[in-house]
Amino acid sequence: MIDTFAQDVLNGLTANNKYLSSKYFYDDNGSRIFQEIMNMPEYYPTNAEFEILSMQSKQIIEALKFIGPFNIVELGAGDGFKTFKLLEYLVSNNVDFHYIPIDISQEAIDMLSTRLKKKLPSLKIHPKVGDYFKILKENRKSDYPSLLLFLGGNIGNYKKEEAIDLLGLIHKNMKIGDKLLIGVDLKKNPIIIHNAYYDKHGITKRFNLNLLLRINRELGADFKIDDFDFYCHYNPITGDVKSYIISLTKQTVYIKTLDKHITFDYNELIWTELSKKYSPDEISNLAKASHFKPITNFLDCKHYFADSLWE
């Protein structure tokens, strides 16, 4: 029996147009490289969303129209760097709420809880590790309304139908009165987007090639990293950033766990990631397609990024 990762690698690398899913970028090493990406000055989403949550916490909370205590449930809380500003605002205004960060990584949740307990000692925090939907289902039983946070623009990494499925599932696990604040990267000057993904430091290249190293490590493959390169391209009409690994020679790679030889042509591509950008109208359409009602968008001052509030 081979596991899901092995099966997905097999499916992707034996397809006519080769592909690998970007969800496999995030092993320990990949997560560290992603932190480096988020710290690059060219990767504008970090600062843009930080600005929204720092400067507009008051407006966001007012727009919820919650009366009395409520929950803030964060899907994929990670290091909680952006959410901190929102939590800090609520704590310093003595607002009655519970913070429920969810992540699949125990390590990330432990670090987040320790940091928050130190910085905001009066915060009522109930960290959870595990499957988003199971935890959301549990949360439906709460007497209080919830604000769900799905930040960072992760929805952009899903194809349209997949995004609608995922959001539909989130919707199914919410109760009447709950709201969702979702981070969405906006269409903008293509040069800004190009520089954020095709970065001159080569960090995004390392992020992509790490996927081949992961296959070497976990599936006993013999990818020679120097024989591959990285390319990405933004299409300002569709809003798609598509990332690829390029084979620099005609070559054969052996994957031991799969007992499979994979051949690559000279300049053959492996599609690794979609990072979709939306216009405000497209955000509304996405909300409606997944059974939500869009309320309002909170934008940073440059209009690079939106935290969109839906009910």
Q: Among residues 83, 113, 275, 297, which is the contact residue for ligand AVI, using CB under 6 A?
A: 275
Site membership for ligand AVI, residue 156 (CB under 6 A) = yes
Write the interaction track for ligand AVI spanning residues 179-198; mark x where CB under 6 A is met and - where it is not: ------------------x-
Is residue 166 within 8 A of residue 291, CB to CB? The reply is no
Nearer to ligand AVI, 12 or 152 (CB): 152
Size of the site for ligand AVI (CB under 6 A): 10
Least gap, CB of 45 to ligand AVI (angstroms): 6
Within 8 A by CB and 6+ apart from 107, the residues are none
Strands (E), 33-189: 70-75, 97-103, 124-125, 128-129, 146-150, 179-185
Least gap, CB of 43 to ligand AVI (angstroms): 7
Site membership for ligand AVI, residue 204 (CB under 6 A) = yes
Q: Among residues 49, 51, 178, 273, which is the contact residue for ligand AVI, using CB under 6 A?
A: 273
Site membership for ligand AVI, residue 30 (CB under 6 A) = no
- Whole-number Å distance between alpha carbons of 307 and 298: 5
Least gap, CB of 226 to ligand AVI (angstroms): 21
Is residue 199 within 8 A of residue 38, CB to CB? The reply is no
Q: Among residues 154, 195, 251, 284, which is the contact residue for ligand AVI, using CB under 6 A?
A: 154
Which among 7-15, 108-116, 147-155, 290-298 is the span making contact with ligand AVI, rule CB under 6 A? 147-155
Please name which of 6, 216, 24, 26 lies closest in space to residue 107, comparing C-alpha atoms. 26
Site membership for ligand AVI, residue 210 (CB under 6 A) = no
- Whole-number Å distance between alpha carbons of 53 and 33: 24
Q: Which residues of 41-80 are buried (b: 16+ CB within 10 A; e: fewer)?
A: ebbbbbbbbbbbbbebbeebbebbebeeebbbbbbbbbeb
Q: Is beta strand 228-235 parallel, antiparallel or unpaired with respect to 240-247?
A: antiparallel
- Whole-number Å distance between alpha carbons of 296 and 280: 10
Site membership for ligand AVI, residue 209 (CB under 6 A) = no
Least gap, CB of 282 to ligand AVI (angstroms): 16
- Find residue 269's DSSP bridge partners: 246
Q: Among residues 157, 173, 210, 308, which is the contact residue for ligand AVI, using CB under 6 A?
A: 157
Q: Among residues 20, 33, 37, 286, which is the contact residue for ligand AVI, using CB under 6 A?
A: 37
Nearer to ligand AVI, 61 or 274 (CB): 274
Nearer to ligand AVI, 61 or 241 (CB): 241
Site membership for ligand AVI, residue 153 (CB under 6 A) = yes
Site membership for ligand AVI, residue 21 (CB under 6 A) = no
- Whole-number Å distance between alpha carbons of 193 and 276: 11
In 10 A of CB 136, how many CB atoms?
23
Q: Which DSSP category does 35 fall into?
A: H
Nearer to ligand AVI, 19 or 89 (CB): 19
Give me the residues that bind ligand AVI (CB under 6 A), please: 37, 152-154, 156-157, 197, 204, 273, 275
